[in-house]
Amino acid sequence: MKKKKIFLVILFIISLLFIGLNNGSTKSYHLKSYQLDNGWGYMILKKNKVIIKQEIIPAISIKKPFANKRDAEIVGELMIDKLKSKQIPSITYNELQTKKIIF
């Protein structure tokens, strides 16, 4: 139950962020992947401002970074595609499986 509440709070925050992002151009998104001590993460920037920083794989039950740069960039690009098409920027478990993300 507690995990559900945390998920809903995160989804709400992402939704608010998404609404705020719709005020500008969608062409200015930039993906930057970076290495962590135990894996990879990514940031999405808009007009040189970090709008999303993702250091763990979304939609799975454990807190784990991306296994490699490729996986972080695939998920980051998927997020940018969703932002550009004005979808809620969230990732599902099925999307991770479809994109063959290692977790």
Asked, for residue 103, whether it belongs to a domain, the answer is: no
Query: Per the structure, how many domains does the chain have?
Result: 1
User: From residue 67, how far is each of 8, 53, 78, 94 by CA, in Å?
Assistant: 26, 16, 17, 18
Q: Which residue has the higher pLDDT, 19 or 41?
A: 41
pTM, rounded to two decimals: 0.74
pLDDT at 8: 43
- Position 47 in a domain: yes
Measured CA distances, 19 to 7, 22, 83, 86 (Å): 18, 6, 10, 9
Q: Domain containing 92: what range?
A: 2-98
Supply the mean pLDDT for the chain. 86
Q: Are 7 and 42 in contact (CB under 8 A)?
A: no
